[in-house]
Structure 1
Amino acid sequence: MEAIEPAYGATTLLLIAAVAVAVLLFLIMKLKLHAFLALVLVSVLTALASGIPVVDIPDALSFGFSNTLGSVALLVGFGVMIGRLLEITGGAQVLADTLINRFGEKRAPLALGVAALIFGFPIFFDAGFVVFLPIIMTVARRFGGSLLLYAFPAAGAFAAMHALVPPHPGPVAAAEALEANIGLTLLVGTPIAVASWYVGAYLVSQMMGRRVYVDIPEALFGQMNGGRDEGIDDGALGTGAAESRSTAQASKTRTAPPAFTTVLAVLLLPFVLISFNTVLDTLMTAGVIEEGASWAEYLKLLGQTSVALLITVIVATLVLGLRGRSMADVSSIFDDALGPICSIILITGAGGMFGGVLRLSGIGDALSSSLSSLGISLILQAFIIATLLRVAQGSATVALTTTAGLLGAAAADANLSSLQLTLLVVAIAAGATVLSHVNDSGFWLVSRFLGMDVKTTLKTWTVMETTLGLTAFLISLALWVVV
């Protein structure tokens, strides 16, 4: 669905967006209205207030909701199935123990973050975060303390790689719009992403975790006895599977945990498959591979996130789930894993709905046109425009691609060097990262999976995303001044 002709100017639309966010926070934080209901209600009211024709409002609501569900529902579902198998078979514990042995107990959060940086190279933020959750929870349960100490270094690593490093779609699209060299963007973006993660996510999360206590959410991860697979409670096999419970328990007591190499192979499989898609896309864009080559398209299909995770679920079922269990037991485990995520998926979709309404109202276009002629440094202009677009409509990808498109002509006229163009891409990506809040579907994904209320998520996740983005921008700005 295309953006509707704005009914008001940028100032009025920004005021409407600000009021909508305030009303949403009031409904959720003060009146304790369920987040899903509050998001849908505010989306309808925002659509009316922003001048979207009444006849188009149903389509406007379904636009953001269906687009978000289309990208999130399958990967979240497959992700928790993989995660549940890793947890219930002891695989998560095996991997966690190996990481701790390599890094030491005091460096457990650092170990999780470094692993996420490596795994985050080819995979999107949300997919990586969901697949990594059982390892995070296992480590957090073992050492205690706030969940933020362990979850945020990993989540911040996935966010940094997704925002700043090709072959992720955001930096690739921005590099194309600015005619920057994708290879150089990769070479420059990777160390900036790592440095930004260490300062803006890892160090900040450790300070945050000592001040804000977040417990492991019982609904998703409270039944697994530290991931050691010592038994299944009555809910773990789901309704109608009581007859297989004693058999499953008996078989599990005889089954040793999987080998580290097996667990690592299962975890690496989606990353390898997804890399087929992301890397081949980059090579096609660069002209190295012919556009539409049949063999490449087949590999790209395997690398579609949902297909890659489906393949991983099947492989995990065969090499982990069926060790001492029947297929009926594994299916019941999957039922138990999928039940608690219904609310997460709906709330995440409703967050996408709210952001979609804001985008369709024309607020992005109106804001862009009013900011495109700022008389300031090009790199600072890039960061400010991307930040304002991010805050106004929620989508980091939209903020990134829109800003790059706006500045493409100005960048060409400025006769910038290849390195400067790359730093401009980083600055835009940094602006599109900061201030994740209630109109961002990723905000709700993190909030629900970590069991945090809105106020806590704003105080923690929003702050960490902001420090991450600001750090990346300051590094790019310093390099811009030097070169």
Structure 2
Amino acid sequence: MSSQGGYLVEAIDPAYGTTTLLLIAAGAVALLLFLIIRVKLHAFIALVLVSVLTALVAGIPVTDVPDALSFGFSNTLGSVALLVGFGVMIGRLLEITGGAQVLADTLIGRFGEKRAPLALGVAALLFGFPIFFDAGLVVFLPIIMTVARRFGGSLLLYAFPAAGAFAAMHALVPPHPGPVAAAELLGANIGLTLLVGAPVAVLAWYVGAFLVSQAIGRRVHVDVPTTLFGEMNGGREADDDTGSGASGSAGTATRTAAPSFATVLGVLLLPFVLISFNTVLTTLQTAGVIEEGATWAEYLKLIGNTSVALLITVIVATLVLGLRGRSMVTVSDILDKALGPICAIILITGAGGMFGGVLRLSGIGGALSGSLSNLGISLILQAFIISTLLRVAQGSATVALTTTAGLLSAAVGASDLGSLQLTALVLAIAAGATVLSHVNDSGFWLVSRFFEMDVKTTLKTWTVMETTLGLSVFVLSLGLWAVG
């Protein structure tokens, strides 16, 4: 087992056969669900405990167990903690200044009240082109909450269309890293993958996420959370709950005019524009259009890094939203109070990454891959099955997508496949990597904590919707395979 920066980066040589390893993974998931759902043990404690036990039972040497735990935890926190922190700051500023209400009113005015969930989903599809699932979701939270409060009913009616849109775009459409990596490994054309993947993502989202989310929302009621953004009073909160008002007098409630729609839209668009610098330039460098290491491109990629882009957006939001009739002391207090409620979200998400990391390092994914790579079935079905099993076994959609593409690359290279069939394979792999999000997936915990759902409710709502989304993608990929 190798390490890098003190943390493990490779799976150990499996101590058991594939069947035993899969039984260990299944037992670990069952124990985790039992501890959280039946024993009511706190999710963070349960995840860490089960991660330790799984590492020991799966044969990871005792001396390497601490590094194995740190691997998944630190990797997840490194990608999630900053963006959740900056994202909730942006969301709080949008919420408390009335910006979220302005955007919600404009969307509803254009689409109509009955199509509010559709409006949120369409907006998320557009914003989801350059941005990752978790970053897009956290920035959209205040708009989702505002619309849900206004019209009532289950939060899922409004939250899942947007969350499903971000998930679909992240899994299927370049320049997101998963489909780009899979296309490269299989020799598929990235441009064609983009042109085909985008409409497939929209169609699959409408059937597998939007329609399903409306059915789920009518059946399962989830209240609008108040932990992150609090109770709203007419769409905006008085500043007296954030400390001193703009005048500097403690306890004085100060209300300022809501920002314009253009200002709010500009704040929301800023991170998406900046992040697109990173994703688009990386894709162009990979394709050889732009020289690797070009200084100007590296600077643009830096400000397009998700965390840096959100940092810049927080600063801009502070200037154009927060300081409208408020002092910097008041704004700092607003931001400080926004960070408190997300501690549990970050820790539980990191622990979910820890659990998934232990499953990967234990060799479960590798053993499963090796046993499935020579199945005597068609490539398109093989792609979906392998990707699905890897997704279920170790949690990470990206790992499932890239590992499956690597396993099939030799067989694909030996086959006489057309460009459209290669793209269909990429989509089938992405479909398998989307289904059955559960307790070893850090995204599962983000959704669970953000929307304040218990594990059982998240399994029968989010897991179901992710599965129908993935199945919808697979059905469409089969059609492309047939005509390709």
Q: For residues 374-413 of structure 1, what are the structure 2 equivalents within 5 Å?
A: 374-413=375-414
Match of 1:290?
291
State whether residues 224 and 232 of structure 1, in contact with CA within 8 Å, keep that contact through their aligned partners in structure 2.
Answer: no
1:141-171 CA distances to partner (integer Å, 9 max, x unpaired)?
Answer: 0000000000000000000000000000000
Aligned partner of residue 225 in structure 1, secondary structure: coil
| Aligned equivalent of 2:67, options 55, 59, 62 | 59
Aligned partner of residue 400 in structure 2, secondary structure: helix
Match of 1:124?
132
Unmatched 5+ residue regions in structure 2?
Answer: 1-8
**Displacement, 1:78?**
0.2
For the aligned residue pairs, the C-alpha RMSD in angstroms reads 1.3
Matched residues in 2 for 1:230 and 1:66: separation? 36
Sort the Cα spacing of 1:143 and 1:195 in 2 relative to 1 into closer, same or farther, 3 A: same
| Aligned equivalent of 2:229, options 207, 221, 229 | 221
State whether residues 216 and 222 of structure 1, in contact with CA within 8 Å, keep that contact through their aligned partners in structure 2.
Answer: no
State whether residues 223 and 233 of structure 1, in contact with CA within 8 Å, keep that contact through their aligned partners in structure 2.
Answer: no
State whether residues 431 and 474 of structure 2, in contact with CA within 8 Å, keep that contact through their aligned partners in structure 1.
Answer: yes
Sort the Cα spacing of 1:57 and 1:249 in 2 relative to 1 into closer, same or farther, 3 A: same
**Displacement, 1:193?**
0.2
Matched residues in 2 for 1:243 and 1:107: separation? 38
State whether residues 95 and 229 of structure 2, in contact with CA within 8 Å, keep that contact through their aligned partners in structure 1.
Answer: no
Match of 1:420?
421
Sort the Cα spacing of 1:243 and 1:280 in 2 relative to 1 into closer, same or farther, 3 A: closer
Match of 1:10?
18
**Displacement, 1:217?**
1.3
Sort the Cα spacing of 1:207 and 1:188 in 2 relative to 1 into closer, same or farther, 3 A: same
Match of 1:321?
322
Matched residues in 2 for 1:290 and 1:429: separation? 29
Sort the Cα spacing of 1:480 and 1:55 in 2 relative to 1 into closer, same or farther, 3 A: same
Sort the Cα spacing of 1:19 and 1:245 in 2 relative to 1 into closer, same or farther, 3 A: farther
Sort the Cα spacing of 1:246 and 1:211 in 2 relative to 1 into closer, same or farther, 3 A: farther
Matched residues in 1 for 2:37 and 2:248: separation? 41
Match of 2:54?
46
TM-score, with length taken from structure 2 = 0.97
Match of 2:30?
22
Amino acid at match of 2:236: D
1:90-118 CA distances to partner (integer Å, 9 max, x unpaired)?
Answer: 00000000000000000000000000000
Match of 1:263?
264
Matched residues in 1 for 2:86 and 2:246: separation? 26
1:268-289 CA distances to partner (integer Å, 9 max, x unpaired)?
Answer: 0000000000000110111110
Matched residues in 2 for 1:58 and 1:256: separation? 52
TM-score, with length taken from structure 1 = 0.97
- Structure 2 residue 454 is the aligned partner of structure 1 residue 457: no
Match of 2:369?
368
Sort the Cα spacing of 1:200 and 1:21 in 2 relative to 1 into closer, same or farther, 3 A: same
Sort the Cα spacing of 1:33 and 1:243 in 2 relative to 1 into closer, same or farther, 3 A: farther
Matched residues in 1 for 2:247 and 2:464: separation? 46
Sort the Cα spacing of 1:250 and 1:232 in 2 relative to 1 into closer, same or farther, 3 A: closer
Match of 1:353?
354
Q: Which runs of 4+ in 1 moved over 6 A?
A: 242-245
| Aligned equivalent of 2:209, options 186, 201, 207 | 201
Unmatched 5+ residue regions in structure 1?
Answer: none
- Structure 2 residue 200 is the aligned partner of structure 1 residue 192: yes
State whether residues 76 and 130 of structure 1, in contact with CA within 8 Å, keep that contact through their aligned partners in structure 2.
Answer: yes
Match of 1:429?
430
Identity of aligned residues (%): 83
Matched residues in 2 for 1:101 and 1:24: separation? 45
Amino acid at match of 2:257: A
Q: For residues 38-117 of structure 1, what are the structure 2 equivalents within 5 Å?
A: 38-117=46-125
Matched residues in 1 for 2:312 and 2:200: separation? 33
Match of 1:302?
303
Aligned partner of residue 227 in structure 2, secondary structure: helix
**Displacement, 1:2?**
1.3
Match of 1:141?
149
Deviates more, 1:444-453 or 1:213-222: 213-222
Matched residues in 1 for 2:260 and 2:245: separation? 29
**Displacement, 1:218?**
1.9
Match of 2:169?
161
Matched residues in 1 for 2:84 and 2:78: separation? 11
Amino acid at match of 1:208: I
**Displacement, 1:246?**
4.9
State whether residues 165 and 171 of structure 1, in contact with CA within 8 Å, keep that contact through their aligned partners in structure 2.
Answer: yes
Amino acid at match of 1:88: I
Match of 2:345?
344
Matched residues in 2 for 1:346 and 1:244: separation? 37
